[in-house]
Copies of this chain bind each other. A is one copy, B any other.
Amino acid sequence: MYHYSYIKVFAPATVANVASGFDVLGFALEKPGDTVELTVKQEKRVRIVKITGDKGVLPFDTKKNTAAVAVEAFLKSINYPFGIDIVLHKQMPLSSGLGSSAASSVAAVFGANILADDPLKKNELLDFTMQAEKAACGAAHGDNTAPSLLGGFVLIRSYKPLDVIKLPVPEGLSCVVAHPHTEVNTGDARKILKKEVSLSKAISQWGNLAALVAALYENDLSLLGRSLMDVIVEPVRSLLIPGFNRVKAAALETGALGCSISGSGPSVFALCANMNSAQKVGSAMEESFKEAGLECDLYVSMVNKKGPLLLEKK
């Protein structure tokens, strides 16, 4: 009845917030990301049968694992008559500010949709990944799942109702992510923010975000660089990341267009005009983290325009 009974899918890590776009903007990376294998089973239930690369940290409980939550909600919505076994290969650090839980749920639901012969469009899958985020972190955020699913830069204008806008990506735009080996708890990262901000800083922030959107449409990398400015969240959250100021300074000195915190950290991202520049900037950022006493993982890639990738089906 259906074409495939097995599928293997990759979904990318993402940088949420993007300096001036706190809580409303994110973009996808070429790497790292998660790979998921799905196998159709007669028994009508969803199971996590294996997880690799997570050092035993992630839950097998289908009410808590984002891949399972997303797939279960999706299968229910389309009345799929079978069950699915999920094998989850974590190929990126957890709690790193790179949208790890989002990459898993996006890969899983993207794959499940193909197994069901594509009943839904890509953007119709977003809701299931947001339900998964809610199960995993208590809030139905979409600034990681939307870019992981849709690729490129994605703006979330509003959650109620959900209003998601895909933005253009300047040719060649590349990204460095440095993930220092330290932990920032997402809850702490949120608690440290004040509930009130000064109107003048908010104005500066929305001026920068509006200009960032214009820069993407205009292909204006200089304007993009000037707009990657966060006067509200970065000054507070950067306190939780040892060496942040030196790392950022090193990135800008070696030619990065802009540099800020990825998601709620501790990863730090820099956007660059091309891969050559990104390689140089990456080395400088790594060196600066070392000077602050931190080893880091370095990921250098183009901005990902496509989202999830089908690796194998049978």
Contacts and interface: CB of A to CB of B under 8 A. Distances in A.
Interface of A: 20-25, 155-158, 163, 165, 167, 193-200, 202-214, 217, 223, 226-227, 232
A195 B199 CA distance: 5
Contact of A207 (B156, B197, B203): B156
Given A198-B195, A217-B217, A163 B211 contact: yes
Number of this chain's copies in the assembly equals 2
6 contacts: A22-B206, A23-B203, A157-B226, A158-B204, A195-B198, A213-B214
Contacts of A204: 158
Most buried by B among A23, A203, A210: A210
Contact of A227 (B20, B157, B196, B211): B157
A68 to B, nearest CB: 30
Contact of A210 (B21, B200, B223, B226): B21
A64 to B, nearest CB: 27
Given A22-B203, A204-B158, A227-B157, A209 B209 contact: yes
A165 B213 contact: no
Given A163-B226, A195-B199, A197-B199, A155 B206 contact: no
